């Protein structure tokens, strides 16, 4: 049985035109590989840092990964190095207790949905939050942080982590790092906002014929 896979980071696109998006994913090649970019290398280096806990090793790893980029660009390498340093400095300065780098998640669907469909993606960092005894969830983006709080997926991610970590939703924050602007911010959605997001998800699935 074929599972209809909706990428979590494409959810906003899907909501705008559910029918067109369904056609897009049905036509998508299952063997389409990931293109190596300076941003993808940056994320890999950050994940490596969270695993090895060594700035030097992670920095060396970043430089080595530049060799895998087909069209090298010295200015982009400089900017990527600066973004990596900014992120590491922020992480160490705030003494964040990161328990997981990349974490795969699957969004809980309405109980009525019996068809084989999955809305899944990856969060880039999960931290313990000692103030709330809960968790901070972080997503990365290369640029463009405006309006992220209004994205449907954010409240859904908070609900998902709440269930996955067996923690009340009000003890979970969701936030964004935007590297080009050196921006980060987080928020916690109310139960009412989360329930509204879940209703919107149900409506969206209905428009896709699910």
Over the stretch 84-135, which tens digit does the pLDDT of each residue have?
999 999 999 988 899 999 999 999 999 898 778 899 999 999 999 988 899 9
pLDDT of residue 192: 98
| Proportion of the chain above pLDDT 90, given as a percent | 79
Domain tally, the chain: 2
Q: Are residues 107 and 134 in the same domain?
A: yes
Q: Are residues 127 and 77 in the same domain?
A: no
What is the C-alpha separation between 93 and 88, in angstroms, rounded? 8
Q: Are residues 173 and 117 in the same domain?
A: yes
Q: Which residues contact 18 (CB under 8 A, 6 or more apart)?
A: 204, 207, 208
Range of the domain at 115: 4-32+97-207
Q: Quick one: average pLDDT of 11-18?
A: 92
Residue 47 phi, psi dihedral angles, 5° rounding: -65, -40
pLDDT of residue 114: 79
Cβ(179)–Cβ(42) under 8 Å?
A: yes
Tokens 């060594």 found at:
54
Q: Are residues 80 and 120 in the same domain?
A: no
pLDDT of residue 33: 61
Q: Which residues contact 138 (CB under 8 A, 6 or more apart)?
A: 123, 124, 125, 126, 127, 175, 176, 177, 184, 186
What is the C-alpha separation between 146 and 40, in angstroms, rounded? 21
Q: Are residues 109 and 171 in the same domain?
A: yes
Q: Are residues 87 and 157 in the same domain?
A: no
Residue 1 has pLDDT above 80, yes or no: no
Q: Are residues 145 and 52 in the same domain?
A: no
Q: How far is CA 133 from the centre of its chain?
A: 22
Q: Are residues 23 and 46 in the same domain?
A: no
Residue 30 has pLDDT above 70, yes or no: no
pTM (predicted TM-score): 0.93
What is the C-alpha separation between 102 and 186, in angstroms, rounded? 18
Q: Are residues 62 and 110 in the same domain?
A: no
Q: Which helix (H) or strand (E) holds 134?
A: strand 134-141
Q: Are residues 106 and 201 in the same domain?
A: yes
pLDDT of residue 115: 78
Q: Which helix (H) or strand (E) holds 103?
A: strand 103-106
Six-digit token string for 105: 């998640």
pLDDT, tens digit, 9 for 90 and up, residues 165-196 = 999 999 999 999 999 999 999 999 999 999 99
What is the C-alpha separation between 187 and 137, in angstroms, rounded? 10
Q: Measured on CA atoms in the order 18, 116, 101, 126, is the torsion positive or negative?
A: positive
């Amino acid at each position: 049985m074929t599972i209809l896979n909706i990428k979590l980071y494409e959810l906003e696109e899907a909501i705008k035109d559910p029918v067109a998006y369904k056609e897009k994913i049905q036509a998508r090649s299952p063997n389409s590989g990931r293109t190596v970019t300076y941003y993808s290398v940056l994320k890999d280096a950050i994940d490596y840092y969270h695993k090895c806990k060594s700035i030097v090793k992670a920095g060396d790893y970043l430089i080595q990964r530049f060799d895998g980029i087909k069209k090298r660009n010295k200015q982009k390498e400089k900017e990527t190095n600066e973004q990596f340093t900014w992120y590491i400095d922020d992480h160490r300065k705030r003494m964040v207790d990161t328990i997981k780098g990349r974490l795969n998640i699957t969004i809980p669907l309405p109980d009525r949905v019996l068809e084989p469909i999955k809305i899944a993606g990856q969060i880039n960092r999960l931290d313990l939050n000692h103030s709330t005894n809960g968790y901070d969830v972080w997503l990365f983006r290369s640029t463009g942080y405006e309006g992220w709080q209004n994205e449907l997926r954010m409240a859904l991610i908070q609900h998902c982590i709440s269930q996955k970590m067996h923690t009340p939703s009000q003890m979970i924050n969701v936030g964004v790092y935007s590297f080009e602007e050196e921006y980060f911010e987080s928020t916690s959605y109310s139960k009412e906002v989360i329930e509204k997001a879940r209703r919107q998800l149900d409506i969206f699935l209905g428009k896709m014929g699910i």
